[in-house]
Amino acid sequence: MFGVLRAYVLIALWQARPGLAGYDVADAVTFCFVTQALIGPMQLFGGGLTLPERIRSGDIALDLVRPAPLQLWTLAEDVGRAAYLFAVRSLPPMLLGAALFGIVVPADAGRWAAFAAGFALALVVSFAWRYLIALSVCWLQDDRGVAVLSLVLTTFFSGMMVPLHLFPGRLGDLATSLPWAAMVQLPTDLYLGKASVPETLALQAFWAAALMGFGALATRAVRHKVVIQGG
Amino acid sequence: MVRTYALLAWTWTRAAAAYRGSFALMVLLGFVVAAVDVAVILVVFANTTALAGFTRDEVLLLYGAASLSFTLCDMLVGNLDRVSAHIKAGTFDTFLIRPIGAWVQLAADRFNPTRIGRIVQAVLVLGHAVTALGVGWDRGWMIAVMVATGMVIFGSLWTLAGALQFLLTDAPEVVNTFTYGGQQLTQYPLAVYSRELVLGVTYVLPLAFVNWQPGLYVLGRDDPFGTPEALRFLGPVAALVLALAAMAAWRQGVRHYRSTGS
């Protein structure tokens, strides 16, 4: 429903400015429904992870003594959740968009492969970001403030609302190189075949590695903090 | 009824204000979240001068008016959408045995004054649009009417959606589609949407009267869909009809409430 309304706004914009950002109207509509489909698996509105509650209740101590690294354990859980959300939250809007407006479907296998790789990397980036937000509870005690901050940054800078190519000048360049772009804008561009595949995947891989690295450091810090508090 | 509501709302406000830092932060964050929508409008208009024939300030006027009525309504009766949780948990019983209407109690339940941040944001946008467009009193009076009309329409939608919960029991998404979908729809001039959709929200679910029809009068423009001129002034009538329907539906819902027995 929300995707349909957004599609009309984008159509109106592309009617006023055909060929904007290298998209035609069909691309813009496709962009709208692909990004709508990514909301579920990428958990763009935050949440998904049970960590904040577990940290507050102290159950996190149990998780830390388990013989599996906390970060990878949580990632595995999150990927499973994303697979489920992909089935129930991603396919219906795509089908609806295809039925109502008609969307672009990549014909060659290469583009599908690039999109699949970009989608997988986007999942890791999204998870790594939300993992960091979740762990911040250890220091802040409450996750509502950072959750809202994350919501604003993610919805605005991921390209979920309008393509990042529309952002004027420097802001646009900056936005497309930030981690949030790696969650939505970059995989969608791979789907549409509008970006160079190696460069896009490299940028996504960079953010995935960087954020996972920070996450690993934060996990170690948490371990010490929990030990100090006596578990 | 109004006195009870005010009393309950004031109690929740005092409770929320007990944590000052948190209160201020929530107000500020509400403001920032709401600002994202405006940022999107500004990004769109960084690329074009007109969207479906409407300029940036005209869109901001429509956005500001709809947003003001929506956020006011969200603060005043938005908690009605928690009725599904109460029905599921069986706690709705407690609302029924108290000597005031369940609707008033539910609307005031967990009254959230921190939503004032969003209201301030809407007022600022509306104020900017009115001054930028130079809207005079001769047509500007309609803005007050449309905000009031919008509040009644959104409030009725919340009530209708709440009434539906008695039937569906556990489907708060239905509420969201009605209310937040309505907010999303009214953010842009209806001229961007398809004819069928606009006819639907004009004659079936009167969302067009929140800001579109009266907004056209304020802007002194013709409807691109060619609806008659008289419709510009029919907002209050549409709102009243919807409110009566919502009231009837709510009564039916409460009458058909079956407690969980726990």
* Residues A36 and A113 sit within 8 Å (Cβ to Cβ): no
Please report residues of B whose CB lies closer than 8 A to that of A2: 180-181, 184
Map tokens 């996750």 to a residue. Answer: A143
pLDDT of residue A228: 59
Please report residues of B whose CB lies closer than 8 A to that of A155: 36
Please tell me which of the candidates A1, A148, A149 has its beta carbon nearest to residue B181.
Answer: A1
Contact A13 B48 (CB under 8 A): yes
Minimum CA–CA partner of B194 in chain A:
A8
Contact B184 A5 (CB under 8 A): yes
CA distance A37 to chain B (A): 17
Q: Mean pLDDT throughout A141-166? A: 87
Q: Mean pLDDT throughout A33-46? A: 89
* Residues B216 and B65 sit within 8 Å (Cβ to Cβ): no
CA distance B94 to chain A (A): 29
Please tell me which of the candidates A1, A8, A152 has its beta carbon nearest to residue B193.
Answer: A8
Tell me the two tokens of residue B153: 């329409």
Contact A166 B32 (CB under 8 A): no
Q: Identify residue A195 by its one-letter amino acid code.
A: A
Please report residues of B whose CB lies closer than 8 A to that of A152: 32-33, 36
Minimum CA–CA partner of A11 in chain B:
B192
Minimum CA–CA partner of A13 in chain B:
B51
Minimum CA–CA partner of A18 in chain B:
B48
Size of interface A-B (CB pairs under 8 A): 65
Contact B177 A1 (CB under 8 A): yes
Could you state, in order of their start, the residue ranges of all structural domains in chain B?
A: 2-255
* Residues B9 and B108 sit within 8 Å (Cβ to Cβ): yes
A28 touches chain B (CB under 8 A): no
Three-class secondary structure assignment of B2-55: HHHHHHHHHHHHHHHHCCHHHHHHHHHHHHHHHHHHHHHHHHHHHHCCCECCEC
Please report residues of B whose CB lies closer than 8 A to that of A167: 43, 46
Please tell me which of the candidates B25, B39, B194 has its beta carbon nearest to residue A8.
Answer: B194
CA distance A144 to A123: 23
Q: What is the dihedral of CA A167, A168, A172, A175, to 10 degrees?
A: -60
Please report residues of A whose CB lies closer than 8 A to that of B52: 12, 15-16
What value, to the nearest 5°, has the Cα angle with vertex B208 and ends B225 and B249?
140
A153 touches chain B (CB under 8 A): no
pLDDT of residue B219: 92
CA distance B193 to chain A (A): 6
Backbone phi and psi for residue A24, each to the nearest 5 degrees, phi listed first? -100, 180
pLDDT of residue B247: 96
CA-to-CA dists, residue A147 to A49, A82, A131, B77, B195, angstroms: 12, 19, 11, 25, 39
Dihedral sign (CA A213, A162, A151, A36): negative
Tell me the two tokens of residue B129: 């649009």
CA distance B244 to chain A (A): 27
Q: Which residues of B touch A (CB under 8 A)?
A: 25-26, 29, 32-33, 36, 39-40, 43-44, 46-48, 50-52, 177, 180-181, 184-185, 188, 191-194, 197
CA distance B96 to chain A (A): 33
CA distance A78 to A48: 7
Residue among B40, B105, B28, B66 at smallest CA distance from A13: B40
Position with higher pLDDT, A216 vs A22: A216
pLDDT of residue B84: 86
pLDDT of residue B262: 59
Please tell me which of the candidates B25, B32, B177 has its beta carbon nearest to residue A152.
Answer: B32
A168 touches chain B (CB under 8 A): yes
CA distance B256 to chain A (A): 30
CA distance A196 to A186: 10
* Residues B22 and B118 sit within 8 Å (Cβ to Cβ): no
Please report residues of B whose CB lies closer than 8 A to that of A45: none
Task: Provide the CB-side half-sphere exposure for B230 (13 A, CA).
Answer: 2
pLDDT of residue B89: 85
Positions in chain B whose pLDDT score sits under 70: 175, 261-262
Question: What are the tens digits of pLDDT across the range A190-217?
Answer: 999 888 999 999 999 999 999 999 999 9
CA distance A17 to chain B (A): 7
* CB neighbour list of residue A61: distance below 8 Å, 6 or more residues apart: A226, A231
Minimum CA–CA partner of B52 in chain A:
A12
pLDDT of residue A227: 63
